Amino acid sequence: MQLWSPQRFISQGSQTLWVLQQLKRSEHIESEVDVINDFLTQLLRHVKRQLTVVHEISCSAPIRYVLTVPVTWKPIALLEMQNAMKIAIKTAGLGTMDYLFLVTEPEAAMNYLIQKTEDIKLCLEKPGDKFLLLDCGGGTIDATAYQAEQEYPLRLSKELVDPGGCTHGSSLLNRDFRKHLKQRIKHQRRHFEINGYTLDGILDEKVLEFEDLKTKLDIYDLKVQPEIFKINGIKPDPKRRLGNNSVEMNQKDFMAIFMPHLREIGKLLRTQLTSAREKGHELTKVPLTGGFSGSPSLKTYLKRLLQKISREFGYNIQLICELAETEHETAVVRGALIRANDKSDGPDRIPQLSYGVEIMEEYNAEKFSAHKGTRPTLDKIDGRYYVNDVISWLIIKGIEVESEERFSIPVYRIFDASDTKFECTETLYVSDTAQQSHYRRAQENNRGARVAGKVTADMTYLVTEGLIHPIEPEGINTRRHYKIEFDLIMIVNGVNLRFEACWQRNGRSEGVHTDISIAAAFTPGTK
C-alpha cells in the first residue's frame, strides 16, 4: 500500500491519468501535487466567502487550521500536505498559516464516537481496552488497531499492529456500476446518442442516481426489488434485460458490483484482527466510520463476517455502527475539532523530520569524518580551504524537542573588499532521513533534503557605516576582504518555527526571519 501518493486525492482512472499527462505537457502543472494545491485553494476560497459573507468575520481575524490525515502517512507525506495547505491558504487570500494542527482520521473519528455512541463508551470503560477502527471512505479503507490510553479526554495508543488499508471505497462502486451499465447499453448508442446526448453523459447521470441508491440498498435483502434506470432511446432487448427506454438491474447485478469490494474489505478486516490476535491482542469491538460506513450492504456483510470470525477465535467481536445517516461523512471532521480544542496529553514531542541550515565549513578531515574523501575548495579571498554547501542539522529526527526551544549556530561569510553589496541568503533544509551534520548537501547522507525556508540579510550598512573593518591580505591566495559574522537561529514555539539570521550592531541585536510550520515533523496530535 502506498503511504504517500496523489491517488489518495486523485482518481487513478485512465482518463484522469491522461488529463494529468496533458496538464504536464502543457506546463499547467509540474506534478500531481499541483492539482491538490488547486483543489485546496478553491475549497479555501469557499471557506473565505462563508466566513466573510455569511458570518461577517474579517479575514484579518486569526484562523487556526485543523487537518485530518490518514494514519498510514509517512512524515514526508505530511510535509507535502502541509506545504499544499500553506500555498492554498496564501492563494485563497486567507493570509498565512499561523497555526496548523494535525490529527489522524481514526483518532478524530474516535473522539466523536466516544461522545455519541454508548457502545464505544462501554468499550472504553478503562485504559487498556482494545479495538479495531475501520474507516471506510470514498476511496480508501483503513483498518487500525488501538488501545485506549485514557478515557477522558480520549487518547489512543500507538497502533497495536501495522495499520492496513485497501482502495475499495464507495467511489469504486460508482466506477464498477458505470462499467456494468456501459457494457449493457453501448451497442445501442446509435439509438440514444441524439439531440446532444452522449454515452458518457448518460453514464454520468445514472452514476448520480446510483450514488443515492447505494446508500439505501442491502444486496443481502432477499426482498430487494429490481431497479429500473430510465434512458431515452433504449430499445427492448430481453437477453440484456433492456426494456423500452429502460435498463433493469436486479440483485445479481448489484452483487456483481458490490461483492469484489466487500470481499477485499473483509480480507483487510480479517488480516488486522488475526495480526492483533497473534500478538496477544483480543480486539472485541470494531467501530465503523467514514462516508461508506452507512451502506446497509457493507454493514450486513461485516456483521456476517464478524460472526464467523468470532466463532473461529472463540470470543465475540462486535461491529459498532450506530451513527445517524447524516453523521457518517462528518464524524471525522467533528472529531478533529473536538481533539483540536483539547490538545492535552498528546504524543511526546519526538520529531520525525530533521531541520538544518546550509553553511560553509572550514576543511578539517581530522575533526569531521564527513570531510574525509571530500575535495575542499580554496577560497582565493581569504586563502582558506572550505567544504561548501554543508548542512548542519540542529533539530534532529528522533531527539525530543521542547515546546519552546532555541537552536543556534555561529556562521560567517567572506566578501571581497571591492564588493559594493554585502548580502547573505541563508537556507533552511528539512529531511526525513538525515541525522548527521558536516556532509555536503549533494552527498548521500543528505539525499532527499529539501528547502524549508530562506532568509536574505543585506548587511551592506555594516561596511558603509564602518561597523566592521576590512581584513588585510596575508600571504598568497588572499585579498583584502570582509568577514561578516552572524548567528543562524531556530526558535521552536509549539508546532511553529522561526528561522533567523541575527547579528550585532552597536551592542544591539538585529536580524531577519521567516516563520514556518513544523507540524508535519511530529506525530499527528502533538501540541
Which range, of 44-48, 158-162, 176-180, 204-208, averages the lowest pLDDT? 158-162
pLDDT at residue 127 greater than cutoff 80: no
Calculate mean pLDDT across residues 246-269: 96
Banded pLDDT at 391 (limits 50, 70, 90): very high
Task: Supply the Cα-derived Rg of the chain in whole angstroms.
Answer: 30
The predicted-structure confidence for 497-514, as pLDDT tens digits, reads as follows 999 999 988 778 889 999
Give Cβ neighbours of residue 430 (< 8 Å, ≥ 6 apart): 79, 353, 354, 355, 449, 450, 451, 452, 521
Banded pLDDT at 158 (limits 50, 70, 90): confident
Banded pLDDT at 154 (limits 50, 70, 90): low
Calculate mean pLDDT across residues 35-50: 91
Strand order in the sheet with 242-243: 227-230, 246-249, 242-243
pLDDT at residue 7 greater than cutoff 50: no
**Separation of CA 55 from chain center:** 29
Banded pLDDT at 14 (limits 50, 70, 90): low
**Number of Cβ atoms within 10 Å of the Cβ of 471:** 16
pLDDT at residue 13 greater than cutoff 80: no
Q: Is 469 helix (H, G, I), strand (E, B) or coil?
A: coil
Average pLDDT of the chain is: 89
CA distance 87 to 70: 21
CA distance 453 to 230: 57
Give the rounded percent of residues in the chain with a pLDDT score beyond 90.
62
pLDDT recorded at residue 247 = 95
pLDDT recorded at residue 61 = 83
Q: Residue 198 phi/psi, 5° resolution?
A: -125, 160
pLDDT recorded at residue 484 = 94
Kind and range of the H or E run holding 88: helix 75-91
The predicted-structure confidence for 82-121, as pLDDT tens digits, reads as follows 999 999 999 999 888 888 999 998 888 888 887 775 555 5
